[in-house]
Structure 1
């Protein structure tokens, strides 16, 4: 008797990571340099130069006629219109995906304006849609923070799960001597860890394997989510990593109790054993309580030697908890600060990351905290006939 089998490769879940805007593009570069496997990378931007320097194999420039490849100028509406103009390009990129990760820095023009529309398109295609985004540092100004909050509200309406990383919280896990470049690289690293924490459970072989349906159970239509990570070595590494993950500064001092879904990824080298997985998960599940649906994956990464890395993603919080998560600005326990500062100062997450620049004389970091006014002023310098009609309307408001 002859049996026919489909190509197993074609039966695997198709995961795509869409980096939107400058912040999303930087996150993609970080993921690719770190060797994230089993996902397709797509960079989407209005800034042609930034897009050209991106490492993603697939790049989509949106709003060519609208912005002339010069970016959205921190105008959220321009980012949205640019995406609207090239929505078919995004649809083609999303086509065939089972799961779509959208990563962006909220507060600018392209990431803030385009991401909600991309999420809506992905959901309409039946993709499990997860957005992992950052909120600005306080020093970037209240105007940028206001735009970020608006973009996050719009994004929340169009995704299955939303993970928001407040950049300001990263100041609690870095040393005071950390450079501004390293601070932004740390933000990229957190976006990478969140994406990897989910994708590795699907793509990597492990002691405890999960399938895409398991992930979907925890993340489908779950709304707000929070994430914590832990990394430890030595005899008590599993316990320490678990404790770090559930007391992570990224949790915004919020307890994981109250979540309706919990995703736990325990990653270690070839020496990772089942007893360590049991120890770690016992600590986390006891903290979560009895109400959460919990799925656990244990993954082998040959590059980890004597280290265990744990990622906890808690999903499905009620509105009360979600509001607390977004508004909390409380101070961390000094011991927690010290634990995470040691990790960053040791370079565990950022030592291999390089910022690309157009110069051969060393890398430079250009951070634009521009406001809408500067963009409109630039437009006014153009000949009237060269200004798109929609922008003329914005100028005349």
Structure 2
């Protein structure tokens, strides 16, 4: 494909970002303010006052007689019904889309309830549909957290790829004196980074761009996706940035074994091919051997000597090799369980006291046969008459499942090398993603 043909393909890709609910609308405003280009923005809300503050190109009010434009009252069912009642408006706004991003904060009424309806409408029109949503802070309460998890599961079934960013993890890498406004600002910036990591390499003006078909091959029907980012400077900046992205506290899982990986490099014009190649080696080492790995780069002179990397990994556990590995794992667990059961029986036999009846003096001169706890061979009749020693009773054989509770599960070891990167160190989004 020639460079001009590739430009035509990418420039014709219709990308829409849909902010659903209050948090989704805030994220859209943040993306617009930070200069995310080549996309059309849509804001959808049941709160008309909040919707009026949106800078999106298209605004859809989900107000009805129940909400009267005042919101969904943190009730996802009301949010879902409102979206269903305005289905035609949503479909019209998404018409002609090739790629639709849905961004929302899970746990509320509109974002949680309406997002799956919007996603279904996008996919029914043939658009590649990616949701980038945030999980609420734990201080927002258990009820909101429970509502968020239910919403995430419903949304997962309606999108091609779902990226979930944990607000608590963002809080963990933030300064302890961070204000509430800045904390939610960071959450918006993380949503922006997840979207921009994909849109930037689709831009025909990107330094090394990829076509829409490549992105589709990684994200289509991929299910859960995980997102990480890193930034570094110096001689090994690319490798260090990749290591940070692969171990980012924002990752809601591990990249290991991924069947699809999308990598975007951000940097000034001095980005070197060999340093990017060295960084990509880290991905090849940890992803599935036959993984579909797509990468590109976007120029950003504001980074100076720094290089930033975003990584989106998809396709976990949905291939023949993983099924075979799962079967091998089950066989191994069964073997371990049987061995554990045998060891438990042996331990009980070793600890059981031997009960020996007193024998007449005439019989004491006869040798006493030692008990064999492992072998089940019975002594012959003559030995039984000569020896009155009672054999040690072995416990009744137990099924494997009965022995399993005796094996205490091992908690995963904590990484002692966790340096506790600050939010500024890990992200720096306002600088390199503008």
**TMscore range, shorter length:** 0.7 to 0.9
- From 348, 358, 377, the equivalent of 2:428 is 348
Find the residue that maps to 1:265 and give its secondary structure: strand
Find the residue that maps to 2:301 and give its secondary structure: coil
Contact 1:256/1:288 (<8 A) preserved = yes
Q: Distance in 1 between the 2:80 and 2:231 partners?
A: 38
Find the residue that maps to 2:104 and give its secondary structure: strand
Alignment of 1:1-397 (within 5 A): 8=8, 12-252=12-252, 254-318=253-317, 333=415, 336-343=418-425, 348-349=428-429
Q: Distance in 1 between the 2:84 and 2:254 partners?
A: 39
Aligned to 2:361: none
Contact 1:230/1:243 (<8 A) preserved = yes
Superposed structure 1 runs of 4+ greater than 4 Å apart:
7-11, 329-337, 350-353
Q: Distance in 1 between the 2:264 and 2:88 partners?
A: 35
- 1:50 positional shift: 0.7
Could you list the per-position Cα deviations for residues 341-392 of structure 1 after superposition, in whole angstroms to 9, with x for gaps in the alignment?
A: 4427xx9335899xxxxxxxxxxxxxxxxxxxxxxxxxxxxxxxxxxxxxxx
- 1:208 positional shift: 2.5
Find the residue that maps to 2:66 and give its secondary structure: helix
Which shows bigger deviation, 19-28 or 7-16? 7-16
Q: Distance in 2 between the 1:86 and 1:342 partners?
A: 41
Contact 1:37/1:203 (<8 A) preserved = no
Which shows bigger deviation, 180-189 or 70-79? 180-189
Q: Distance in 1 between the 2:266 and 2:242 partners?
A: 11
Q: Distance in 1 between the 2:10 and 2:172 partners?
A: 43
- 1:237 positional shift: 1.4
Contact 2:10/2:204 (<8 A) preserved = no
Could you list the per-position Cα deviations for residues 147-175 of structure 1 after superposition, in whole angstroms to 9, with x for gaps in the alignment?
A: 11111111011100001111111122111
How does the TM-score come out when normalised to structure 1?
A: 0.80
Which shows bigger deviation, 310-319 or 151-160? 310-319
RMSD between aligned residues: 2.6
Q: Distance in 1 between the 2:219 and 2:35 partners?
A: 24
Q: Distance in 2 between the 1:202 and 1:144 partners?
A: 35
Could you list the per-position Cα deviations for residues 109-143 of structure 1 after superposition, in whole angstroms to 9, with x for gaps in the alignment?
A: 00000000000000000000000101111111111
Could you list the per-position Cα deviations for residues 26-72 of structure 1 after superposition, in whole angstroms to 9, with x for gaps in the alignment?
A: 11111111111111111110111111111212211113333111000
Contact 2:21/2:44 (<8 A) preserved = yes
User: For this pair of structures, how many residues does the alignment match?
Assistant: 338
Q: Distance in 2 between the 1:210 and 1:10 partners?
A: 8
Q: Distance in 2 between the 1:296 and 1:137 partners?
A: 32
Which shows bigger deviation, 165-174 or 210-219? 165-174
Q: Distance in 1 between the 2:229 and 2:176 partners?
A: 21
Aligned to 1:373: none
* Structure 1: segments with no counterpart, 5+ residues: 322-328, 354-397
Contact 1:202/1:209 (<8 A) preserved = yes
- 1:207 positional shift: 3.8
Q: Distance in 1 between the 2:108 and 2:44 partners?
A: 14
RCO higher in 1 or 2 (8 Å CA, sep ≥ 6)? 1
* Structure 2: segments with no counterpart, 5+ residues: 323-410
Could you list the per-position Cα deviations for residues 236-290 of structure 1 after superposition, in whole angstroms to 9, with x for gaps in the alignment?
A: 21111101000000114x3311211111111111221212211211122212241
